Structure formats: C-alpha cells, structure tokens
A and B are shown apart, each in its own frame.
Chain A
C-alpha cells in the first residue's frame, strides 16, 4: 500500500510518516509548497520547514517530493479569505485549505503520482468513510475538516487521531525525529506569527471609520477599517473606560462598527442558526437532536436540526458570537457529519 504523507516540517506530520513506515506502508513524504512570500515583519519560514520535512524523510529512509500549489493556494484560499473579509465576514482559511488543497489537489496529485492513499497529521479519525473526533478531544481538528468529502476520506489515513498531543511528542522524541522538539506553528497556517490585520492590510485598502454605541448611537471612537472587526470581539477596540465593549454589528457600506457593553445584547447571542453552503461528508442526516461546534475547540452545543429548504438549528441554550461567514460543524456523537456557513 503506497501512502503519500503531507509533511509540513512539524512534529505531527513527522510522526505520522514514522508511524506509517513502522506499520509497513510504502511511504512517500510530500511537502506542499503553498505560500512562500515574506511579509513586512514576518519572514515566511517555508524554506526551513521544507528542509525539516525533508530531513525527517531522509531519517526515515523514505522518498520525498515537493508539490507546488502556490498558484492554487493563492486563488482558492488566500483570495477567498480576502474576499470574505471585504464582505464583512470572518472566514476560516484552514477549512478552505483542507477542502481545496489538502484533500483535493494533494489527494488528486498523489493518486496521479501512484499513491493508493494519502495521510496527514490531523487529529481526527476515519472509520468506514466516516469522520470521527480524535481521541484527544482537546486537539480534535474535525472542525477544520468538515468540508472534506467522504470519497476523499476513504483514501485518507489520520494515524494521530488515536493519540494525545503529549503522546505524540513523546513518541517523536523516542524515535529521535529531527522535529521532535519543534514548536507548534502559531496562528493561521500561512500568515504565521503576524496577525491577520497586518496580513489583510497588504491586500485591502482600509479607511478609518466610527465606532458607535449601538444603544445610544453615540460615537465612541475611531476604528482603522471595519473589516478588522468580528462580531463578539472584545479586545482591540481602543474605546476606553468602564465596562468592556463588544462588537455587535458592522455596516460595511457605511464603514461603521457597532459596540455595546451589554453582554445580554440580542445580537451577541443566537439561538436560531441558519446555515448556507452546507456540506455533508457522506449524506444528510435526518431531523433530530445533534451537537454543533461554532468554532475550533468550542464546547459542543446541543441543538435541534431541521432540514427544510435551508438547514436550521435551534440551540438548546443561546450561543455567544455566532458570526456570519463562520463555519458551524455538526456532530452526531463522535461522528462529524458536516456543516455549513452561518448566514
């Protein structure tokens, strides 16, 4: 069985490759070259990451290749992200990267190149084509994987889904893997250490605007571009004094950001959620009782699902900061069924 492992140069994908070699697979390591551009204040670490991935491949005695997806990544992930922000939404590039790059382009290119299956270092499990949460529920990455197809998952291995992150570190050390001590990458995969704000300002021209108290209509201060603000956001408002303010709305046309100190403000809490762009990993579930997750690592929330012309949930308890453009992922017990984007 020939398996192509996506190796990023991090400890997770390094151990993934090592485990598959030990289990007798014919393993080839692949570095996906998605982003190489330096940005002001941040040197893109791709060359070091590539070298680390290759070092581990050499250590394991496996073949190693580089698949260049730079153009596609720019078109399908980065552009999508910028467009979403421009429209006042808060997208998740990792979800898009999995959908478009790792479990589509990479899978297809690997199969084309002679692989039977692919593997990645995601914390998730696949059983009979169903996506299940990782054993380490704290690390579980199924939230990022809900837009992957069942067909792709049938050709995918996630060896790390059975282990906790501390176990993974220990196993990497025991094997003396070159990357065993490497720090986990921070933030959005390609933006890395710089914030999304710095990244966006390279691509979107922003204009300062007013921060307005939703209740009183009073101008409280200025912001440097409405796209930088997310519903429910508390920090970084620079509106001084007293109780903390929360973002409760934006008007992209007027370039206004609305805030409140009232944590019970209706717009901060949602009980009814409507989803668009719904994707089911295998097939649509029946109406009934499920759990949803509104962001990575958010606790699972109980809800009632109603499938009509669109997909609607009624949450048992209202959830805070369920934002337009954000992904909601649906679970039936441990199984991740799919999800959609909040309207």
Chain B
C-alpha cells in the first residue's frame, strides 16, 4: 500500500503517464480481488467498507426485502430505511431457517439478504440452500411471465479467510466484502453484483466505478485489500483447520473450568476461529476491562452495539436471557493466535471470572 501513499500518489484519472501506472495498479488489484472470489473485475464496485456496500445493494432495490433478525446493524438499518421489509426470526442456535425465509418471500420480494456468517455468534448461514429457494422463486416467476427480479445478497465480511467466498459456489447474486476483517485497511470494501443485477448509484460525481460509486479511487486501500484478500483466500483451508483446533481447545478449557458456562451458536455450523461464551450473572464488560489489563482483548456483542450500552439484538433474537447476554464474550481467534497465547488467554479469562465471582460473592 505504502508506495501508493507516497510515490505513486497520482489521481488514476489524470492524463499524464505516471497516472497511467497508478490506473494499471488499481485495475490489477481489482483483477486480483475478482479472481479471489471467482468474479470479473467489472462486476465489482469498490466502496468505503461493508456498510456502504450494503447500503448500495439495498438502495438499488425496489420492492420487498427479506432479511433475518440477527443481521448486522448495517443490514437492519438499511432494511428499515428501505421500508418495505420482513425481518425473519431465527432459532436458538443462531442459524437462519431456510423454511422461514422461504415463507417470508412474497411475489413482490426482490432481495433476500443474509450474512454468510453471523458477526456475533459466528454461525454459518445456509446460503446455498437459500440460493436454491431463490432459484425456484425465479423459475416460478418466469413460468408466470412475471418479470419481477429477486436477488440473494450476502455480507461475507465475517466469513472470508475461514470460509469459501467463491460467488458461484455461494450461489449469491450480490456479495459484500470488507478489507478490515482480513488484516487489510479500514474503510475499504466491495459490492460484487453479477451482470444481471442493475445497481443504482448512491454517491454521485465524476462517474468512477462505472458511475456506481463516484469519487477518486482509493488506490492504496484497494491494493491493500487485494493483497489481504489473496492471502486470506489462499491460506483459508490451513488457517481454518489451525483455528478450529485452537478454538476447540479454548472451549474445552473454559467449559471444564466452570460448569455454568453457555456456548452459543450451532456447534456444527460455526466459524472455526469463533467462540461465543456466556457467564450468566457476570458483567462481561467488567471481564473485558480486567482482561485488557493483561493484554487479552475481547469484545462483548458486536463492538458498535456494545458501545451504545444496549443489549445485543442478536442474543435477544436467539432468546438468550438478559443475564446471559450481559455476561457474554465474543472471542475471535486469528493470525496472531497460537497455542500458547490462546491457552494463556483462556487462563486469563478463568482468572477474571474467578475474580468477579469472588467480588460478587462477598
């Protein structure tokens, strides 16, 4: 990224020769990104992150939208803004029910949006089955000479690097990705849409990104994104396996130390590096503050929701008690995690929990 912030700072749209090199580098980065998800570069719209991508997707749609109660706020708020939407409840395991989504689809539905993996529980959603439902609905409409389109959108920001994000295999029509979640720069993301989807610009100006997202290209950011994404996708299988072992060990460590521990999210359908654990009766924020003093950095719900002092809508949606929700930690493992740090992190969590129980028991 750095050369594009320092030496190759030219606006890619400028006519002089050095700008051409920048333009090429930008295009190559988009090619790399497109290849990593099995798409064409011209099908990508580079954005300032997943939230913008989601808003672009929702803003391109007329008609009825179906999404789930455990989606990220970016999706829920965009659906609210859109107006005509159905929020489908989910079961206790935090996995969207394909039947419930199918039941919510009406003849006027034009978009179904479900994240590949839930950002709080780490649960992996049945995207290919949802894609199948949508294919059937499309077929039904075609048979009835109904031209109303219907698309499947997924925000895969939480899954990339651990799950397959090939657009054809996922069966989606629109895909949102984010560089920040894979060690890339923040404020960089993309919306992929196959050529049959007509996007509608939300940001107007000089006509960059095929007129769908005006504004001078974030060259350094997109170059950084391309490197991060290529690494994440290439290393995915080995990394997922490694993280799964670490996560399973940590889960074992925590559940054997304390009996009153809740592990949430369908055990068979979770991101390998994700662990959602609740200590009912404890205040998770206190645990986080204790742990940060030992350099163990964890989150409660999704970072944004926790800052607002409100309870997680995801945990409410899966029917968790307030006591459980307030005592919930979201543990994400990644490149920096290894056997030693994860074991030490587990020990620190156990110590923090013991300390809090002692304080409350006095």
Measured CB to CB, the residues of A under 8 A from B are 47, 50-51, 54-55, 58-59, 61, 63-64
The residue on A at minimum CB distance from B359 is A61
Q: How many Å from the CB of B327 to the closest CB on chain A?
A: 15
**CB interface residues, B 288-328, toward A, < 8 Å:** 289-290, 293, 307-309
Known: A47-B307, A47-B308. A63 touches B359 (CB 8 A): yes
B289 & A59 in contact (Cβ 8 Å cutoff): yes
Q: Is the CB of B286 within 8 A of A64?
A: yes
B285 touching A54 by the CB < 8 A rule? yes
Excluding A50-B309, A54-B289, 9 further A-B contacts by CB distance (< 8 Å) are A47-B308, A51-B285, A51-B307, A54-B285, A58-B289, A58-B290, A59-B289, A61-B359, A63-B359
Contacts of A54 in B (CB 8 A): 285-286, 289
Q: How far is the CA of A50 from the CA of B285 in the complex (A)?
A: 11
| A47 adjacent to B286 (CB under 8 Å) | no
> Are B309 and A47 within 8 A (Cβ)?
yes
Closest to A50 in B: B309
Nearest to B292 among chain A residues (CB) is A55
CB distance from B33 to the nearest CB of A (A): 34
* B-chain residues with CB within 8 Å of residue A47 when the two chains form the complex: 307-309
Q: How far is the CB of B74 from chain A (nearest CB, A)?
A: 19
10 smallest CB-CB distances across A and B, nearest first, come from A58-B289, A55-B289, A58-B286, A47-B307, A58-B290, A61-B359, A47-B309, A54-B285, A54-B289, A47-B308
Number of A-B contacts (CB under 8 A): 19
Alpha-carbon gap, A232 to B7, bound state (A): 57
| Docked pose: A8 CA to B80 CA in angstroms | 35
Instruction: Report the separation of the CA atoms of residues A43 and B285 in the bound assembly, to the nearest whole angstrom.
Output: 22
Interfacial chain B residues near A51, Cβ < 8 Å: 285, 307
CB closest chain-A residue, reference B358: A61
Among residues of B, the one whose C-beta sits closest to the C-beta of A56 is B289
Cα distance A62–B280 in the bound complex, in angstroms: 19
Q: Give complex CA distance A47, B310 in Å.
A: 11
Quote the shortest CB–CB distance from B96 to chain A (angstroms): 31
Residues of B within 8 A of A61 (CB): 355, 359
- Please name 13 pairs of A and B residues whose Cβ atoms are closer than 8 Å in the assembled complex, sorted by A: A47-B308, A47-B309, A50-B309, A51-B307, A54-B286, A54-B289, A58-B286, A58-B289, A59-B289, A59-B293, A61-B355, A63-B359, A64-B286
Q: Which residues of B contact A (CB under 8 A)?
A: 285-286, 289-290, 293, 307-309, 355, 359
Query: A55 vs B285: C-alpha distance in the bound complex, in angstroms?
Result: 9
| Complex Cα gap A59–B309 (Å) | 20
CB-CB nearest in chain A for B289: A58
A51–B359 alpha-carbon span in the complex (Å): 19
Note all chain B residues with C-beta closer than 8 A to A64: 286
Shortest CB–CB separation between residue A53 and chain B, in angstroms?
11
Task: Say how far A8's CB is from chain B's closest CB, in angstroms.
Answer: 16
Chain B residues whose C-beta falls within 8 Å of the C-beta of A59 in the assembled complex: 289, 293
**B302: min CB distance to chain A, Å:** 15
Which residues of A have CB within 8 Å of B355?
61
The complex places the Cα of A58 from the Cα of B290 at a distance, in Å, of: 7
In the bound complex, residues from chain A placing their C-beta under 8 Å from that of B308 are 47
Contacts of B286 in A (CB 8 A): 54, 58, 64
Task: Give B293's nearest chain A residue, CB to CB.
Answer: A59
Taking the closest CB of chain A, its distance from the CB of B289, in whole angstroms, is 4
Collect the chain B residues with CB atoms within 8 Å of residue A58's CB: 286, 289-290
Q: What are the residues of chain A within 8 A of B359 when measuring CB–CB? A: 61, 63
| Closest chain B residue to A58, Cβ basis | B289
Q: What separation, in Å, do the CA atoms of A51 and B355 have in the docked complex?
A: 19
Chain A residue nearest to B355 (CB atoms) is A61
A contact residues around B285 at 8 Å (CB) = 51, 54
Least CB distance from A343 to B in Å reads 44
Give A63 to B283 CA distance when docked, in angstroms.
11
Contacts of B309 in A (CB 8 A): 47, 50
Q: How far is the CA of A40 from the CA of B323 in the complex (A)?
A: 36
Instruction: Tell me the complex Cα distance, A54–B283, Å.
Output: 11
Residues of A within 8 A of B307 (CB): 47, 51
Q: Measured between C-beta atoms, what is the minimum distance from B226 to chain A in Å?
A: 34
Cβ-closest chain A residue relative to B283: A64
A342–B359 Cα gap in the complex (Å)? 50
Cα–Cα, bound, A54→B359 (Å): 15
Q: CA separation between A50 and B309, bound complex, in Å?
A: 10
A278 to chain B: closest CB distance in Å? 41
* A26 CB, min distance to chain B CBs, angstroms: 9
Name the distance in Å between A309's Cβ and chain B's nearest Cβ: 51
Q: How far is the CB of B303 from chain A (nearest CB, A)?
A: 12
| Distance of B80 from chain A, by nearest CB (Å) | 20
The distance in angstroms between the C-alpha atoms of A63 and B290, with both chains bound, is: 13
Query: How far, in angstroms, from A61 to B308 measured CA to CA in the complex?
Result: 24
Select the residue from B285, B289, B307, B359 with max chain A CB neighbours within 10 A: B289
Q: Please measure, in the bound complex, the distance between the C-alpha atom of A63 and the C-alpha atom of B360, giving whole angstroms.
A: 8
The smallest beta-carbon distance between A178 and chain B, in angstroms, is 8
**Who on chain B is nearest to A63 by CB?**
B359
- Which A residues lie within 8 Å of B290 (CB)? 58
Q: How far is the CB of B290 from chain A (nearest CB, A)?
A: 6
A219 to chain B, nearest CB (A): 47
Of chain A, the residue at the smallest CB distance from B308 is A47
A50-B293 Cα distance, complex, nearest whole Å? 18
